[in-house]
Amino acid sequence: NAGVMQNPRHLVRRRGQEARLRCSPMKGHSHVYWYRQLPEEGLKFMVYLQKENIIDESGMPKERFSAEFPKEGPSILRIQQVVRGDSAAYFCASSATLYRSFSGNTIYFGEGSWLTVV
């Protein structure tokens, strides 16, 4: 009964390189959320996706960041031309339902991907 799987857990990139973070939601979940956590800060919402659709990207930086959730395969958060300020933990979460059925179990987090830009 696999939970939300994120990889890689740790990623080191030089400035200017690209970073790709992957997230496989829980089985049966079609809603994926990405969050960023800077050191000593809370989680900041980045983007909410359903299969093949971006529903809300209000938290995404306007440049260099993109996200997708294809019909097949994991969700990808892509950061182009990384800078030191992109160093953070990136958390993915998934849920099965959109409305109602609210309980604490409706959204599940992965263990996070730690990006370090050197």
Partner 1 sequence: AQKITQTQPGMFVQEKEAVTLDCTYDTSDQSYGLFWYKQPSSGEMIFLIYQGSYDEQNATEGRYSLNFQKARKSANLVISASQLGDSAMYFCAMREVYNNNDMRFGAGTRLTVKP
Provide the binding-site residues for partner 1, judged by CB under 8 A: 31, 33, 35, 41-45, 48, 55-56, 58, 89, 91, 93, 98-100, 102-109, 111-112, 114
Nearest to 70 by CA among 41, 49, 98, 47: 49
Residue 83 near residue 117, CB atoms below 8 Å:
yes
Q: What is the DSSP string of 21-61?
A: EEEEPPTT--EEEEEEE-TTS-EEEEEEEETTEEEE-TTS-
Q: How far is the CB of 58 from partner 1 (least distance, A)?
A: 8
> Quick one: CA dihedral 89, 77, 10, 33, positive or negative?
positive
Q: How far is the CB of 107 from partner 1 (least distance, A)?
A: 6
Q: How far is the CB of 16 from partner 1 (least distance, A)?
A: 26
Residue closer to partner 1, measured from CB, 12 or 80: 12
Residue closer to partner 1, measured from CB, 45 or 116: 45
Residue closer to partner 1, measured from CB, 68 or 111: 111
CA distances from 66 to 13, 41, 81, 109 (A): 17, 22, 12, 20
Q: How far is the CB of 53 from partner 1 (least distance, A)?
A: 13
Residue closer to partner 1, measured from CB, 11 or 93: 93
